[in-house]
Amino acid sequence: MLVGDDEEHEQTSGMCVSIFGRRMYAMECTHLCTKALAIVQVDDLLYAGPAPCEHDADCTRLNDQPPKSTKTGKKPAPAPFGASKSTKAQKNPLFEATPKNFGIGQDIQPKTDLTRFVKWPEYVRLQRQKVILHQRLKVPPAIAQFSHTLDKNTATQLFKLLNKYRPETKQEKNARLAAAAAATAEGKESTQKPEKKPFFVKYGLNHSVALIEAKKAALVAIADDVDPIELVVFLPTLCRKMGVPYVIVKSKARLGTVVHKKTAAVLTVHEVRSEDQKELSTIVSAAKANFSDKYEEQRRQWGGGLRGNKSTQMLRKRAKASGQTLTAANAAKL
């Protein structure tokens, strides 16, 4: 089998490689030969070399190369004194391992917090969903103003004053009337003036509205969680129109405790004693600064529109990928 043609080639040294089966052979000719190169098969082995030439000892087979010499290095140093071989810990045959199987119907599961898997009552689910909807949906300014409540320190002073003017209970009222009747029966009415009715906090929506419209209210306290909110949504505007100071406080139940009720939507301070006049004026000045003077500002502020944790993290990743900073302005564009 000829590799080159019969024509004379330049007198140079070259390499001829051939693949036969899975073996590869090569020959390097160092002689100035004018014969064509050929591949020769001898004893089922393939050789590469020049066509019949006196230089038949120049053909070299790659598989016949001498093996590489393996040099043996020095032996590794022995282990330091005191080093002991690791031995497996012997198991006590008296104690056998009994692994638990936590499959269905098998061993009892370990105690874990299953709060997320509890099927809550319907009223619990509804009130939680309602809170989430109020956070997600946009809230008009007339309703959103009820989310701005009185600060804690001022609210503490307010309820301290309101508790001084709690309405009398039925027992206290009966005792007061009985004492007045006994005095009348004894003939003391002519010598002493009749006892005046003490000052009380006024409650009830209709009663409070009548006092506000008559401009007889010194201070109005409105609850922020009245349901339906339409019952009190007009009160801030009415108070501002009539020049009556008002505050929005947390929890209608807290207002209810002042007047011996479960809840109260609104409380009205009509009159106070002379010793409490200074305390009332302090609360009124805070009410005007936080509510009456900020009415126009709050009338233009929408509420709600708050995103959840998952949505916020998704927008933050998008903003980071685009090289931006997540703000309320560009949140809608991401």
Minimum mean pLDDT range among 5-9, 102-106, 207-211: 5-9
- Who wins on pLDDT, 88 or 35? 88
Average pLDDT over residues 297-320: 90
20 lies in which domain range? 14-62
Asked, for residue 122, whether it belongs to a domain, the answer is no
Q: Are residues 154 and 292 in the same domain?
A: yes
**What is the reported pLDDT for 7?**
42
pTM across the whole model: 0.60
Task: Give the separation between CA 204 and CA 304, rounded to whole angstroms.
Answer: 30
**What is the reported pLDDT for 215?**
93
Confidence of residue 34 (pLDDT cuts 50, 70, 90): very low
Asked, for residue 21, whether it belongs to a domain, the answer is yes
Asked, for residue 223, whether it belongs to a domain, the answer is yes
**What is the reported pLDDT for 195?**
62
Task: Decide: 157 and 282 in contact? Cβ < 8 Å.
Answer: yes
**What is the reported pLDDT for 173?**
87
Asked, for residue 24, whether it belongs to a domain, the answer is yes
Q: Are residues 162 and 277 in the same domain?
A: yes
Asked, for residue 152, whether it belongs to a domain, the answer is yes
Confidence of residue 93 (pLDDT cuts 50, 70, 90): confident
Count of H-run helices and E-run strands, the chain: 10, 10
Average pLDDT over residues 215-230: 94
Q: pLDDT averaged over the chain?
A: 80
What does the pLDDT look like over 245-262, one tens digit per residue? 999 999 999 999 999 999
Structural domain total, the chain: 2
Q: In this structure, what token pair is assigned to residue 35?
A: 């014969």
Dihedral sign for Cα 149, 155, 158, 159, please.
Answer: positive
Task: Give the separation between CA 204 and CA 91, rounded to whole angstroms.
Answer: 80
Average pLDDT over residues 13-39: 46
> Which residues contact residue 249 at a Cβ distance below 8 angstroms, ignoring those fewer than 6 apart?
149, 150, 155, 158, 221, 222, 223, 224, 255
The CATH number of residue 273's host domain is 3.30.1330.30
Task: Give the separation between CA 79 and CA 52, rounded to whole angstroms.
Answer: 64
**What is the reported pLDDT for 263?**
96
Average pLDDT over residues 71-78: 74
Average pLDDT over residues 115-135: 93
Side-chain-side CA neighbours of 215 within 13 Å: the count stands at 4
Q: Are residues 58 and 150 in the same domain?
A: no
Is pLDDT of 64 > 80? no
Q: Are residues 292 and 155 in the same domain?
A: yes
Confidence of residue 266 (pLDDT cuts 50, 70, 90): very high
**What is the reported pLDDT for 47?**
55
Is pLDDT of 182 > 80? yes
Q: In this structure, what token pair is assigned to residue 57?
A: 């000892």
Average pLDDT over residues 54-70: 53
Asked, for residue 154, whether it belongs to a domain, the answer is yes
Asked, for residue 131, whether it belongs to a domain, the answer is no
